[in-house]
Amino acid sequence: MFDIYNNKTSFIRLKPRKFLGLIIPLLIILLIIIYLLITTKIYDNYPTKGYITCSDKCILTTYIPSNIDYNNIYFNNKHYKSKIVTNEIVMEENSITTYRKLQLEVSDNYLNNEIINLNFYYHKQRIIVKIFQKIF
């Protein structure tokens, strides 16, 4: 009879330890996730395509909405330095929207009339701010 009582009390003593052993790592993981949400900054992304015309120099031509900043441009998922040749605003009369026609001077690694994928990264914010903007 005494052994059954000891087993019962030992089981009661072990149960909170197992519970704390499960809760403490979960709290640590939760705190790490909250820290990353507060401190990590990400960009908005605008994917588009552009075409290249080569004569003396290779020129990339693309159209993007006029409210997008064009400082961070990735060609085929790689960041290259490029020089802006022309930057003009064009209005589409059917939908009454404005676009920015960008012509960039790029390296000679591309073929004439080649179409490439472009990504414009803009509006860098913390993740938690973007989540609150989506919710509210």
Question: What is d(CA 58, CA 117) in angstroms, rounded to the nearest whole number?
Answer: 16
**pLDDT above 60 for 1:** no
User: Residue type at 93?
Assistant: E
Determine the structural domain holding residue 55 and report its residue range: 44-135
Q: How far is CA 22 from CA 11, 15, 27, 31, 115, in A?
A: 17, 11, 9, 15, 54
105 and 77 housed in the same domain: yes
Residues 23 and 2 in one domain: yes
3-class SS string, 64-97: EECCCCCCEEEECCEECCCEEEEEEEEEECCCCE
Same domain, residue pair 52 and 88: yes
Shared-domain flag, residues 89 and 114? yes
70 and 14 together in one domain? no
Q: Please tell me whether residues 71 and 127 are part of one structural domain.
A: yes
Same domain, 85 and 122: yes
How far, in Å, CA of 84 to CA of 71, rounded? 10
Same domain flag for 31 and 15: yes
**Digit-coded pLDDT (tens) for 106-132:** 877 788 888 989 888 888 899 999 889
pTM, 2 dp: 0.67
